[in-house]
Amino acid sequence: MAQGDTRFIFITGGVVSSLGKGIAAASIGRLLVARGFGVQLQKFDPYINVDPGTMSPYQHGEVFVTEDGAETDLDLGHYERFTDANTSRASNVTAGGVYNTVIRRERRGDYLGATVQVVPHITDEIKQRIKLMADATDADFVITEIGGTVGDIESLPFLEAIRQFPVDVGRRRCMFIHLTLVPYIRHAGELKTKPTQHSVNELRRIGIAPDMVVCR
């Protein structure tokens, strides 16, 4: 692929958490690597902690330490094992880290007295983290997993940022994949798709129409 023509794949989740977005992202990355493409993966976490290093492993699981010494989300371990590519500090972005960067810039006066808001300042910083990954690695594909569940308040800045992203780089370079739960109701002997329908509708209300729905 020509330089500057990186494709972007965004993985979101709905209905419930812990469905395996990280494994889904890593598996898609593995398929692309098998086709000869260069792939980099990112995990965006909506919590206010700057990184998972001080979080209880009972709540969040063990941290994964990257080659450059960053304490990151354990999903990065899946990314490395599946794609044989090293991750870095830039591969794990948290809401706390994004807000910390924006607030430090505001304190330095970088915004020249402007009112600092979630849109555009926070969303622009989130988009910049995605673009930096593409520019720094020159990967053919950057796969970005958005932590949390569609409908959560804390995920909204990240979802708004990826909604805007195709406007910045072109829709043909972006793909949205939504992972949802299809529960099996034993007494009825049926799989129920209604939760998935509601989850996709919630995503569409935000302005994101998924190109693919992965059901578990």
What CATH number is associated with residue 209?
3.40.50.300
DSSP strands (E only) in 33-76: 39-45, 64-65, 71-72
Name residue 3's amino acid: Q
Please name the residues in contact with 194: beta carbons below 8 A apart, sequence gap of 6 or more: none
Kindly calculate the radius of gyration of the chain based on its CA atoms and give it in whole angstroms.
17
Q: Is there a domain that residue 163 lies in? A: yes
Q: Is there a domain that residue 1 lies in? A: no
Q: Is there a domain that residue 104 lies in? A: yes
The pLDDT mean for the chain works out to: 93
> Which stretch of DSSP H or E encloses residue 37?
none
Domain of residue 82 covers 7-215
Q: Are 121 and 111 in contact (CB under 8 A)?
A: yes
Q: Is there a domain that residue 2 lies in? A: no
Q: Is there a domain that residue 191 lies in? A: yes
Q: Report, as ranges of residue numbers, the positions in the chain whose pLDDT lies below 50.
A: none
Q: Are 63 and 72 in contact (CB under 8 A)?
A: yes
* Per-residue model confidence (pLDDT) at position 17: 84
> Which stretch of DSSP H or E encloses residue 176?
strand 174-180
Name residue 155's amino acid: S
* Per-residue model confidence (pLDDT) at position 54: 87
Number of domains forming the structure of the chain: 1
* Per-residue model confidence (pLDDT) at position 61: 82
- Coil, strand or helix: which one is 115? coil
Q: Are 43 and 23 in contact (CB under 8 A)?
A: no
* Per-residue model confidence (pLDDT) at position 213: 97
Tell me how far apart the alpha carbons of residues 193 and 180 are, in angstroms, rounded to a whole number.
10
Q: Is there a domain that residue 171 lies in? A: yes
* Per-residue model confidence (pLDDT) at position 4: 66
* Per-residue model confidence (pLDDT) at position 80: 95
